[in-house]
Amino acid sequence: MARFWVCVAGAGVFLAFLVLHSRFCGSPVLRNFTFAVSRRTEKSLYRLDVDWPKHPEYFTGTTFCVAVDSLNGLVYIGQRGDNIPKILVFTEDGYFLRAWNYTVDTPHGIFAASTLYEQSIWITDVGSGFFGHTVKKYSSFGDLVQVLGTPGKKGTGLNPLQFDNPAELYVEDTGDIYIVDGDGGLNNRLIKLSQDFMILWLHGENGTGPAKFNIPHSVTLDSAGRVWVADRGNKRIQVFDKDTGEWLGAWNNCFTEEGPSSVRFTPDGKYLIVAQLNLSRLSVVAAPPVGSIGECSVISTIQLADQVLPHLLEVDRKTGAVYVAEIGAKQVQKYVPLNSYVPAFGS
């Protein structure tokens, strides 16, 4: 199994070690050594948990997405491939628990909705088979509970609601759902649904102007009631009011090289963690104050080895740990916050 070891050292010097394990080489061999010097003096905010997971051999496909059930300490991973389990479940300590494959075709995004009253797993499926072009709700053991969209049939319709390559979703504790639909398909939409799946508002036009999208790839919320969308093709993050859908602003100054592929906030709300796929880079960005969007300001970066390709990430709302699904390395890695900068949830 390919394992990438990334360290942050000193005034913004990052060392990335690529170690290829016996599945490819017959024995562990140190294959590559790269380093990059950052453009500024940066704080070290995270360290790689090199012992997570305990058994990486369970990664048998291409790992596209990861979700965290913070309440129960579980990590869900979606992977693609033929004749393999599509969903893997680990503990937050890295122990493998179970796998399931029921009615999952080609997972793209995954989200764990976990409250005292309900624990569920939501998956966006971009497959071309019978289960594709849907957003599906499962129990934690893989029982199918709800299907949104027209299974196996892509489309642009709203009644009934249809999807084409839905990229990701975010579910509030209230049950309201935010979906970005359009990972290179017919649609370029941000849709808010109520807990009973009624459309509350949407933005759905392809373009470069405000509230228009080109491959909306990831969506998240902050504690101030703002919706943040990784508008990947337009190389920016757009921000909306969660209640009205009003466009509040955009960040594009941080993403001139490549657009963001994933966005998540730290539990304290101070930082936004952003992945850039083809740059193999994670950025820690300062969150703006309430009432202001301002400009993007990068506080720290983690430069991964070439071709690691971080696709989507998730942040544990309780511990602040960052889990990164890497489609190039075919693994998920865990980064642990240094407490002096990113306090745990509720502290």
Domains annotated on the chain, with CATH = 46-337 (2.120.10.30)
pLDDT given for residue 42 in this prediction: 61
Q: Give the model confidence (pLDDT) of 268-311 as tens digits.
A: 999 999 999 999 999 999 999 999 999 999 999 999 999 999 99
pLDDT at 117: 81
Q: Tell me what pLDDT residue 30 has.
A: 29
pLDDT of residue 23: 36
Give the pLDDT of residue 44. 81
Average pLDDT over residues 27-33: 31
Residue 23 sits at φ, ψ, to 5 deg, of -60, -30
Residue 15 clears pLDDT 70, i.e. is over it: no
d(CA 66, CA 142): 15
CA 25 – CA 262 distance, rounded (Å)? 32
10 Cβ contact list (under 8 Å, min separation 6): none
Looking at residue 33, what is its pLDDT? Answer: 28
Give the DSSP letter string of 247-267.
Answer: EEEEE-TT-SSS--SEEEE-T
- Tokens 């880079």 belong to residue: 281
Q: Please tell me the pTM assigned to this model.
A: 0.88
Q: Are 170 and 177 in contact (CB under 8 A)?
A: yes
Q: What is the reported pLDDT for 18?
A: 37
Give me the pLDDT at residue 142, please. 95
Fill in the amino acid letter for 301.
T
pLDDT band at 101 (very low <50, low <70, confident <90, very high): confident
Tell me the pLDDT band of 118, cut-offs 50, 70 and 90: confident
pLDDT in tens, 209-249: 999 999 999 999 999 999 999 999 999 999 999 999 999 99
* Confidence at residue 115, expressed as pLDDT on a 0 to 100 scale: 84
